[in-house]
Amino acid sequence: MRLPVISSMEDMTRLVDELGFLPFFKGDVPGFSIAEAVRPDLWFSETQEGPWEWKGPVIRATGCAYGKFYRGKAMYVSREFFPDFANLRRDGYDYDARVDDGLARHRDARIMELLTERPSLVSRELKALACAGEESRKQFDGCLSFLQMQCYVCIADFEYALDRYGRPYGWGLARYATPEHLFGEDFSAHVYEREPAESRERLRRHLKSILPDASEGQIARILE
């Protein structure tokens, strides 16, 4: 697949809305990523914004979900398809039901407890509250990635430090939230309305329509 060249935040926003799925980094399907489509001069430019700076604005503009959804790498999923995607990844379980059935990992529980109690937390706040010792700090990033892959957690936005002129600088800090907090009833009322197998087939058909040359295995690796 060859995406159109991305030269602006508006280009990225349009692709998220049009395709429904848009990985940030190169994956199994050649050409199907922001990394392969953005104009080379926009990466790490000192004079103009590029894909790193556009991540948060694209989330806000589209109302989409963003997180480590694609084999541990970042991907945008549109509001239209995210309930089915979460249903598939969660296998039809909300987190409490997963705990009740003994399917949740104990080391993830504190992160979920904190994000269920609060609308959102910046990464450093979440880590400080969730980690009680050296071992839990070592596990933190892996737990957070795992919960994103299961679609119990996503990135709501990115926040930047400001210089004395009020200009943002440095790497943005991710703000994490549960989809239930972030999207409200638009998500909660629809996430489990289909069987996971039905959600999978709906998503498979959509991905095949936008990636006609992708194999079933490549599509499965986006979904699983």
pLDDT at 1: 77
pLDDT at 169: 66
Residue 50 is encoded by which pair of tokens?
Answer: 């590029």
The answer to whether 70 and 22 have CB atoms below 8 angstroms apart is no
Structure letter (DSSP) for residue 41: G
Task: Give me the DSSP letters along 61-103.
Answer: HHT-EEEEEETTEEEEE-TTTHHHHHHHHHTT--HHHHHHTT-
Lowest-pLDDT range of 98-107, 168-177, 212-221: 168-177
Closest CA to 146 of 93, 115, 107: 107
Dihedrals phi, psi of 125, to nearest 5 degrees: -65, -45
Examine the pLDDT at 135 and tell me if it is beyond 70: no
| Residue the block writes with tokens 């994956």 | 27
Where residue 17 falls among pLDDT bands split at 50, 70, 90?
very high
State whether residue 115 is helix, strand or coil: helix
Where residue 44 falls among pLDDT bands split at 50, 70, 90?
confident
For the chain, the helix, strand and coil percentages under 3-state DSSP, each to the nearest 5: 50, 15, 35
Residue 179 is encoded by which pair of tokens?
Answer: 């989809």
Dihedrals phi, psi of 29, to nearest 5 degrees: -100, 110
Residue 146 is encoded by which pair of tokens?
Answer: 């795992």
Predicted TM-score (pTM) of this structure: 0.93
pLDDT at 67: 98
| Residue the block writes with tokens 């989330």 | 59
The per-residue pLDDT of the chain, averaged, comes to: 94
Task: Give the pLDDT mean for 68-97.
Answer: 97
Where residue 46 falls among pLDDT bands split at 50, 70, 90?
confident
Task: Give the pLDDT mean for 203-210.
Answer: 98
Q: What is the CA radius of gyration of the chain?
A: 18
Where residue 93 falls among pLDDT bands split at 50, 70, 90?
very high
Where residue 170 falls among pLDDT bands split at 50, 70, 90?
low
pLDDT at 141: 94
CA atoms of 102 and 188, how far apart (whole Å): 22
Examine the pLDDT at 47 and tell me if it is beyond 90: no
Examine the pLDDT at 12 and tell me if it is beyond 80: yes
